[in-house]
Chains A and B, each alone.
Chain A
């Protein structure tokens, strides 16, 4: 079970949240100019990194706000959580026992 820190409510259990997929996927600037392949890439294609991944979560039983979480897809460690208007935080360089 993940312990996710909501930027407004603080640390809460994973069961209080809903997952919303990859974060920072911008809507196409000129949607009318996109061909089918580019639309498909925008709608369906998502990164699948091994390591830190920025994703959207929603605190559905709490404040009902969307926010972003930086999660390590290998260790499932929640590295950071931040509001939608905040930029993706820079991770401290891997150190310690890594």
Chain B
């Protein structure tokens, strides 16, 4: 007799990096040059496009609880939602727990624009620890020094050869990298490789 299985979509889903979870855990480095890597799967991501000067933008901001960021690199957070600037009329709303897209669509109220759930488009990698910036600097062309980049900033760029959204959470520093799901395997392996150096003593 077949065992009863939970067939709800939430129970059946598999994150793009589930097969690397153990590898990422064992790659963690502790100490003064510590750095850890983990996947934060199933963040809800909503792509939002609208005219920032329109009334719809105000209505959406009200629904989110925070104004939409107007400048490159900026994010605005309110409760479980963070709105990330992707372009002059494009944002990515990251939420955990999930945001109700119907509410946002209602706020748009038929004005030109779109609200699309793109949660499956990307996955989230969390890179944290004193050496996290050094790991990223091996393959990211942005200036990640605190004078140019800091907590609450997010930019789309490339890490290694992989296009990803890079978002800094705190001063640890903790970064979140959001690559496309199909590139996530490569990026995770790339990061694991880049982290391995910090296990040993510093080479002067």
Contacts and interface: CB of A to CB of B under 8 A. Distances in A.
A69 B178 CA distance: 29
A35 B17 CA distance: 56
Interface residues of B, number: 13
Interface residues of A, number: 12
Contacts of B87: 8, 63-65
Interface stretch (A9-17, A18-26, A72-80, A86-94): A9-17
A65 B88 CA distance: 9
A62 B88 contact: no
Given A8-B72, A9-B72, A10-B72, A63 B86 contact: yes
B157 A16 contact: yes
A86 B73 CA distance: 23
A97 interface: no
A61 B158 contact: yes
Interface string A43-77: 00000000000000000011111000000000000
A61 B88 contact: no
Nearest to B85: A63
Interface of B: 72-73, 86-88, 90, 141-142, 155-158, 163
Contacts of A13: 141
Contacts of A65: 87-88
A63 B157 contact: no
Contact of B163 (A8, A10, A61): A61
Given A8-B87, A15-B141, A62-B155, 4 more contacts: A16-B158, A61-B158, A62-B72, A63-B156
B73 to A, nearest CB: 8
A9 B88 CA distance: 10
B68 to A, nearest CB: 14
A64 B92 CA distance: 14
A63 B73 CA distance: 10
Given A8-B88, A13-B141, A61 B157 contact: yes
B158 A15 contact: yes
A62 B156 contact: yes
Contacts of B90: 63-64
